[in-house]
Amino acid sequence: ENNAADSKNLRVKLVLLGDSGVGKSCIVLRFVRGQFDPTSKVTVGASFLSQTIALQDSTTVKFEIWDTAGQERYAALAPLYYRGAAVAVIVYDITSSDSFAKAQYWVKELQKHGSPDIILALVGNKADLQEKRKVSVQDGTEYAEKNGMFFIETSAKTADNINELFEEIAKRLP
């Protein structure tokens, strides 16, 4: 059905959080520019990019994306970026149990200090590195379910599930 009267233009503040090196900047680069950078530099402070997608009902969603720095020295800045965010995407690396523990830390922090109606997405990135996997799909799924989050595994390298991640978030917007 194509009802132009139902179409909307949404603007959404989205923040990416997670350990340094899990691939946050690569996910954004893949989503916004369709590229992958194997020599991606660590983010300093945070970087901002935006990207608009169209949904099937002709609603457009403009994601205003804050890609935060995962290094510990920047942790105190995080509230500046997640404050007022409608969506938080919390990323870990499926080859790193430490990064999965860090993701859980961010979930708790957002549950305490994020907007009460924030949409939380849990992302297991680097799904192309199956042979080095340390965090099972089940671990990710169960943790996300317990915490009322949306869960997906992605690869910024192969582009697997990157568009799907943002489309699924868009579907969950009020």
Contacts of 108 (CB under 8 A, 6+ apart): none
For the chain, the C-alpha Rg in angstroms (whole number) is: 15
Interacting residue with ligand GTP among 43, 123, 140, 153 (CB under 6 A): 43
Q: With CB under 5 A as the contact rule, which of the stretches 37-45, 57-65, 122-130, 132-140 interacts with Mg ion?
A: 37-45
Amino acid at 25: S
- CA dihedral over 71, 72, 76, 82, signed as positive or negative: positive
Q: State the nearest-atom distance from the C-beta of 131 to Mg ion, in Å.
A: 24
Q: State the nearest-atom distance from the C-beta of 98 to ligand GTP, in Å.
A: 13
Interacting residue with ligand GTP among 12, 24, 92, 144 (CB under 6 A): 24
140 binds ligand GTP (CB under 6 A): no
Burial of 31 (0-12, 13-18, 19+ CB in 10 A): buried
CA distance 140 to 152: 8
Q: State the nearest-atom distance from the C-beta of 82 to ligand GTP, in Å.
A: 14
Q: In what side-by-side order are the strands of the sheet with 87-93? A: 46-54, 60-68, 9-17, 87-93, 119-125, 150-153
Q: State the nearest-atom distance from the C-beta of 73 to ligand GTP, in Å.
A: 10
Longest dimension (CA), the chain: 50
- Per-residue contact flags (x/-) with Mg ion for residues 38 to 67, judged by CB under 5 A: -----x------------------------
Query: Residues in the site for Mg ion, rule: CB under 5 A?
Result: 24-25, 43
Contact footprint for ligand GTP (CB under 6 A)? 18, 20-26, 37-38, 40, 42-43, 69-71, 125-126, 128-129, 155-157
